[in-house]
């Protein structure tokens, strides 16, 4: 562990060994300790040096492990730098007038104990610490914003039917609760009976099913939505999206938030064969791009913080201890091993 204040410190870091195709394996990454890290900011820099406290384990990270075009939203990981992702960090040194030493922030950082961030353009100062700090990787961070504004795109009305895939994850569990508080009938799908039980017992879903036990997704959806689906919040794409399109109601809405079922086979993605039904049913399909909503973050906080403080919203986290367990956590997320928002606890405050 590095000693703050010293110039040269040791810094544990996670690297991608090489660009990959197919399923991510833990062995595709390695953990190294650099004993010669220079933690001082260069003279005149307006960046910050941070101590990373929590790192977010996010599906999109898999896409950056090969040279996949995200249309300028992300760039793929460099092999000679630590893997990047969202995190919560404390500032050790600042050249940025908006942040001072000791401030807590969330935003993109490195999968390492300490990071030098040359830009703080997409970073937010954490002003409220009466809630768990880890929440800024999830409900109070990027996944929370995607869930809230992505669901808002769907214009769901009281009494409508809502379906959420990957419903027990960092995003999905929130969408389900937002839909319930809008007065909708909400069904979620997830990949284990444990997750299905959580959705119904703790996260307020009306119904939930284990999609891995369904041989016919179309039939499963017809069972839960005999009259059809008004709103689909898609976290998975692929065969589930294809089955949902067949079951949408006239003038239904689909928010395309994620397509995790395709992230490990991005070069040979499955097609969505039933999309033609969306024409006949006048279904509106819109992509969720979380960065669009960052300017609305203060408004989102005003909405969500009281719900957390009053215990009116639940948030299930799956926290692993130690940066060295990061590679297994990310490989596991892409196989559905996480139960709730997946997070790595790197250091205590």
DSSP per position, 203-217: S--SEEEEGGG-S-H
In eight-state DSSP terms, residue 304 is: H
String marking each residue 192-231 x if it binds ligand NAP according to CB under 6 A: x--x------------------------------------
Compute the Cα dihedral for 45, 46, 47, 50 and give only its sign: positive
When asked if residue 120 is in the footprint of ligand NAP (CB under 6 A), the reply is no
* Rounded Cα distance, 312 and 112, in Å: 34
Instruction: Give the nearest distance from C-beta 340 to ligand NAP in angstroms.
Output: 7
**Looking at the DSSP assignment, which residues form a beta bridge with residue 86?**
108
Instruction: Give the nearest distance from C-beta 305 to ligand NAP in angstroms.
Output: 20
* Token pair 């950082």: residue: 109
Count each helix (H run) and each strand (E run) in the chain, helices first: 9, 15
Q: Please list, residue by residue across 179-213, b when 16 or more beta carbons sit within 10 angstroms of its beta carbon and e when fewer do.
A: bbebebbbbbbbbeeebbebbeeebbbbbbbbbee
* Rounded Cα distance, 75 and 89, in Å: 22
* Rounded Cα distance, 141 and 147, in Å: 10
The one among 139, 338, 344, 346 contacting ligand NAP by CB under 6 A = 338
Which of 9, 229 has the CB closer to ligand NAP?
229
Closest CA to 108 of 90, 94, 123, 118: 123
- Using CB under 6 A as the binding rule, the residues of this chain from 244 to 263 that contact ligand NAP are 257-261
The one among 20, 46, 60, 324 contacting ligand NAP by CB under 6 A = 60
Instruction: Give the nearest distance from C-beta 241 to ligand NAP in angstroms.
Output: 10
* Rounded Cα distance, 209 and 91, in Å: 43
The one among 33, 45, 289, 325 contacting ligand NAP by CB under 6 A = 289
Task: Work out the angle between the directed axes of helices 238-247 and 217-224 (0-180°, nearest 10).
Answer: 50
The one among 146, 203, 217, 231 contacting ligand NAP by CB under 6 A = 146
Part of the chain binding ligand NAP (CB under 6 A), chosen from 122-130, 274-282, 300-308, 334-342: 334-342
Instruction: Give the nearest distance from C-beta 235 to ligand NAP in angstroms.
Output: 4
Compute the Cα dihedral for 304, 307, 309, 312 and give only its sign: negative
Structure tokens of 139?
A: 């409900």
Which of 45, 246 has the CB closer to ligand NAP?
246
When asked if residue 169 is in the footprint of ligand NAP (CB under 6 A), the reply is yes
Which of 16, 168 has the CB closer to ligand NAP?
168
When asked if residue 58 is in the footprint of ligand NAP (CB under 6 A), the reply is yes
When asked if residue 186 is in the footprint of ligand NAP (CB under 6 A), the reply is no
When asked if residue 242 is in the footprint of ligand NAP (CB under 6 A), the reply is no
The one among 37, 88, 164, 171 contacting ligand NAP by CB under 6 A = 171
Three-class SS of residue 112?
strand
Part of the chain binding ligand NAP (CB under 6 A), chosen from 42-50, 190-198, 269-277, 304-312: 190-198
- Using CB under 6 A as the binding rule, the residues of this chain from 7 to 46 that contact ligand NAP are none
Residues at the interface with ligand NAP (CB under 6 A): 58-60, 142-143, 146, 166, 169-172, 190-192, 195, 235-236, 257-261, 288-290, 333-334, 336, 338, 341-342
């Amino acid at each position: 562990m590095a000693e703050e204040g010293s110039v040269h410190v040791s810094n544990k870091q996670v690297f991608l060994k090489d660009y990959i195709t197919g399923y991510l394996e833990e062995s595709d990454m390695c953990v190294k300790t650099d004993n010669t890290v220079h933690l001082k900011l260069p003279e005149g820099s307006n960046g910050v040096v941070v101590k990373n406290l929590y790192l977010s384990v996010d599906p999109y990270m898999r896409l950056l492990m090969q040279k996949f075009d995200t249309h300028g939203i992300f760039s793929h990981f460099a092999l000679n730098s630590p893997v990047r992702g969202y995190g919560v960090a404390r500032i050790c040194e600042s050249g940025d007038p908006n942040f001072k030493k000791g401030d807590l922030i969330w935003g993109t950082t490195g999968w390492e104990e300490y990071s030098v961030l040359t830009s703080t353009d997409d970073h937010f100062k954490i002003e409220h610490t009466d809630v768990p700090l880890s929440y800024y990787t999830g409900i109070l961070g990027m996944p929370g914003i995607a869930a809230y504004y992505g669901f808002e795109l769907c214009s769901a009305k009281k009494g409508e039917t809502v379906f959420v895939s990957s419903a027990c994850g960092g995003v999905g569990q929130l969408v389900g609760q937002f839909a319930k508080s809008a007065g909708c009938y909400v069904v979620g799908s997830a990949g284990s009976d444990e997750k299905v039980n959580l959705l119904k017992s703790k996260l307020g879903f009306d119904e939930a099913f284990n999609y891995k036990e369904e041989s016919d997704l179309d039939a499963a959806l017809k069972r839960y939505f005999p009259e059809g689906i008004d709103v689909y919040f898609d976290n998975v794409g692929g065969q589930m999206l294809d089955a949902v399109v067949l079951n949408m109601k006239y003038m239904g809405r689909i928010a395309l938030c994620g397509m995790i079922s395709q992230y490990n086979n991005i070069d040979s993605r499955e097609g969505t064969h039933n999309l033609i039904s969306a024409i006949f049913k006048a279904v509106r399909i819109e992509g969720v791009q979380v960065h669009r909503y960052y300017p609305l973050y203060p408004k989102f906080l005003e909405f969500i913080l009281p719900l957390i403080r009053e215990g009116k919203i639940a948030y299930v986290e799956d926290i692993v201890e130690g940066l060295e367990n990061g590679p297994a956590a990310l490989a596991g997320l892409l196989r559905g091993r996480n139960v709730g928002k997946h997070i790595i606890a790197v250091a205590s405050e």
